[in-house]
Amino acid sequence: MSDIPYTVRRSPRARRARVEVSASGVEVVVPRRMAARHADELVAEKRRWIERTLRRYQEAARTGPAVRLEDGGGVPYLGRDLALSVRVEPGRVRPRVRLDTGRDGVERLGLAVGAGGPEPIRAALEPWYRRRADAEIGPRLSAAAARAGASYARLVIRNQRTRWASCSSSGTMSFNWRLLLAPEAVLDYVIEHEVAHLAVPDHSRRFWTLLAARCPAYREHERWLRDHGPALRL
């Protein structure tokens, strides 16, 4: 039995077992009829990679943008820190989130939630971030596409587990709402990255040459996402 804690998820779509490591822990995805012992064998086989990845998540959490889901706490938003003002209203079914700038110049997110603790705050903030992602990314994406002389079919905001964004062959642009927890320049880089895929669908040398012309500091932003991306969570 492996001494690395993990959970097992059976998937009817899985053709073979795979290991997924996230900030939440280790999960082994297995086909529906595969014996559970194979999960332990796979974890043992990939032990060094799992431990290395978990250390990366721990380091990202230590050095990444701070998140404190409590009254007087705060959350990151495109490189800015938003202070949280939380009011608990027992019995409230639908939470309320509103962004205001006080006379002191501090941006505050005012939340009204039905119960105390971080979970109701998280449950209220994620839909708010999703809406803001659509409002922030839409105009930036349209402007980047126009500069490139390109067009896309539609924008979709998602919560991908392993991707920040994607560009489908049909022109659908998908972006992870958690990019709003990163600095603004990082979000703009990811947008330019996906717009470049409208012209070059792969990651060939031609793609990176095109991206470098549009976003000269792309390596810096790639490095930031690699180092801090695992911590971009509420």
**pLDDT the model gives residue 166:** 95
The pLDDT value given to residue 64 = 61
d(CA 106, CA 85): 12
Residue 185 above 80 pLDDT?
A: yes
Per the model's pLDDT, the better-predicted residue between 182 and 228 turns out to be 182
pLDDT of residue 77: 95
What contacts 172, CB < 8 A, 6 or more positions away? Answer: 152, 153, 154, 155, 156
- Mean pLDDT over all residues of the chain? 91
Please answer whether residues 133 and 160 qualify as being in contact, where contact means their C-beta atoms are separated by less than 8 angstroms.
Answer: no
At residue 104, does pLDDT exceed 90?
no
At residue 58, does pLDDT exceed 80?
no
Q: Choose which CATH entry (3.30.2010.10, 3.30.470.20, 2.40.50.100, 3.40.30.10) describes domain 74-231.
A: 3.30.2010.10
Give the list of residues 6+ apart from residue 134 with CB closer than 8 angstroms, or none. 155, 157
**Prediction pTM value:** 0.78
For the chain, the structural domain boundaries read 7-63, 74-231
